[in-house]
Amino acid sequence: MAVRYNAMELMICAAARLLEDGRSVTVGTGVPCAAAMLAQRTTAPNLLIFFEAGGVAPLLPTMPISVGDSRTFHRGLMATSMADVMEACQRGMMDYAFLGGAQIDAYGNLNSTMIGQDYAKPKVRFPGSGGANDLASFCWRVIVVTNHDRRRFVEKVDFITTPGYLTGPGAREAAGLPAGCGPYRVITDLAVMGFDEATKRIKVLSLHPGVDRQQVEERTGFQLLWANPLDETPPPTDEALWILRQEVDPHRYLIGRC
């Protein structure tokens, strides 16, 4: 039987299911925006979407191409500034934030700055933090969406752009970050992962349909923890796929990548 969805569609649908109705989320363009749009059109009609450039609670008509796109203000509550959005995070008003990076380690630390050991002469230079460090520091729950391979999932990131649980239990608080916030879920093209409460290390919660444990281990550069029992990620519903394809990403900018 032919597969009725691709890996990108599954990732977006899995991310959308995490966003509860009435919650707040800061998103960027791409997959995070698609997930928020899908959630708002299905299970979370009262989801409050924030954009870093200042759009607050828009009802997105179509996919914006940047965080400052005029569509990020469409029928919104406010057209404000980055300073106000970041202040909302610092005041503990932001439930979720979506982030990504070139590398992630076992404690959810992200690197979007450089590859290499010499900051002045890196092998590869990336765009850097933007607002990612602020969001990961102050939003209650951080969701990471990324492809799953050994170059990304590394034992130690080359540079900590964005703090996860740093070196383990208590490290965030020792660094002066608020207690009770941090990485929450990591969604890849293979699995959905969370973080073990005792060790703060990544734990596999569910495998996507057709994926086995060996595939995940082979594409990870560190030892994973595993939930027991291990679940299977629910596949996208027909309704979610229709909305994603016809309303959220009709030109297949995202879902056409697979």
In a domain, 1, yes or no: no
Contact indicator for 145, 31 with CB cutoff of 8 Å: yes
Mean pLDDT of all residues in 173-191: 96
258 pLDDT tier (thresholds 50, 70, 90): low
| Catalytic hit among 52, 173, 197, 217 | 52
The CATH number that applies at residue 83 is: 3.40.1080.10
Given a cut of 90, whether residue 2 has pLDDT beyond it is no
In a domain, 216, yes or no: yes
Residue type, 229: P
What tens digit of pLDDT does each residue of 85-122 get? 999 999 999 999 999 999 999 999 999 999 999 999 99
What domain count does the chain have?
1
Residue type, 15: A
What distance, in Å, lies between the first and last C-alpha atoms of the chain?
19
Residue type, 112: S
Q: How many CB atoms lie within 10 A of CB 202?
A: 27
In a domain, 169, yes or no: yes
What tens digit of pLDDT does each residue of 187-236 get? 999 999 999 999 999 999 999 999 999 999 999 999 999 999 999 999 99
Contact indicator for 163, 133 with CB cutoff of 8 Å: yes
Given a cut of 90, whether residue 35 has pLDDT beyond it is yes
Given a cut of 50, whether residue 78 has pLDDT beyond it is yes
In a domain, 258, yes or no: no
Given a cut of 80, whether residue 142 has pLDDT beyond it is yes
- The percentage of the chain sitting over the pLDDT mark of 90, rounded to a whole number, equals 93
Mean pLDDT of all residues in 159-165: 97
Q: Rounded distance, CA 213 to CA 230, Å?
A: 10
- The domain of 30 spans 7-253
Is 247 assigned a catalytic role? no
pLDDT at 28: 87
Residue spans of alpha helices (H) in 42-143: 82-90, 132-138
In a domain, 2, yes or no: no
Instruction: Please report how many Cα atoms fall inside a 13 Å half-sphere around the Cα of residue 90, on the Cβ side.
Output: 10
In a domain, 101, yes or no: yes
In a domain, 105, yes or no: yes
Across 92-117, b (16+ Cβ under 10 Å) vs e yields eebbbbbbbbbbbbbbbbbbbbbbee
In a domain, 34, yes or no: yes
pLDDT at 194: 98
The whole-chain average pLDDT of the chain stands at 95
1 pLDDT tier (thresholds 50, 70, 90): very low
